[in-house]
Amino acid sequence: MQPIRMVDLQGQYAEIAPEVQEAINQVIKDTSFINGPVVREFQIQLEEYLDGTHVIPCGNGTDALQIALMALDLQPGDEVITADFTFAATVEVIALLKLTPVLVDIDPQTFNIDPKAVEKAITPKTKAIIPVHLFGQAAPMEPLLELAQKNNLYLVEDNAQGIGSTYTFSDGRKQKTGTIGTVGTTSFFPSKNLGGYGDGGAIFTRDTDLAQKIRGIVNHGMYKRYHHDIIGVNSRLDSLQAAVLNIKLKRLDFYNERRKAAAIQYTQRLSQHPKITTPIRQGDCDSHVFHQYTLRVHGVNRDALVDHLKEKNIPTGVYYPIPLHAQKAYQSPQYKDEDFPVTNRAVKEVISLPMHTELSLEQIDYITASLIEFMDAQ
Ligand X SMILES: *Cc1c(COP(=O)(O)O)cnc(C)c1O
Q: Would you tell me which residues interact with ligand X (CB under 6 A)?
A: 60-62, 86-87, 89-90, 132, 158, 160-161, 187, 189, 199, 201
As a whole number of angstroms, the distance between CA 24 and CA 19 comes to 9
Nearest Cα to 162, choosing from 145, 183, 186, 189? Answer: 186
Q: How far is the CB of 95 from ligand X (least distance, A)?
A: 14
Q: How far is the CB of 294 from ligand X (least distance, A)?
A: 13
Nearer to ligand X, 85 or 374 (CB): 85
Q: Output the residue with the shortest Cβ distance to ligand X.
A: 61
Nearer to ligand X, 182 or 235 (CB): 235
CA 224 to chain centre: 33
Q: How far is the CB of 90 from ligand X (least distance, A)?
A: 5
Q: Are 197 and 244 in contact (CB under 8 A)?
A: yes
Nearer to ligand X, 199 or 238 (CB): 199
As a whole number of angstroms, the distance between CA 51 and CA 321 comes to 36
- Classify burial at 69, counting beta carbons within 10 Å of its beta carbon; exposed 0-12, middle 13-18, buried 19 or more: buried
Nearer to ligand X, 157 or 308 (CB): 157
Q: How far is the CB of 200 from ligand X (least distance, A)?
A: 7
Q: How far is the CB of 25 from ligand X (least distance, A)?
A: 26
Nearer to ligand X, 60 or 100 (CB): 60
Nearest Cα to 190, choosing from 3, 4, 13? Answer: 13
DSSP designation for 85: S
Q: How far is the CB of 308 from ligand X (least distance, A)?
A: 27
As a whole number of angstroms, the distance between CA 100 and CA 41 comes to 37
Nearer to ligand X, 189 or 374 (CB): 189
- Residues 6+ away with beta carbon under 8 Å from 139: 110, 112, 113, 131, 132, 133, 157, 177
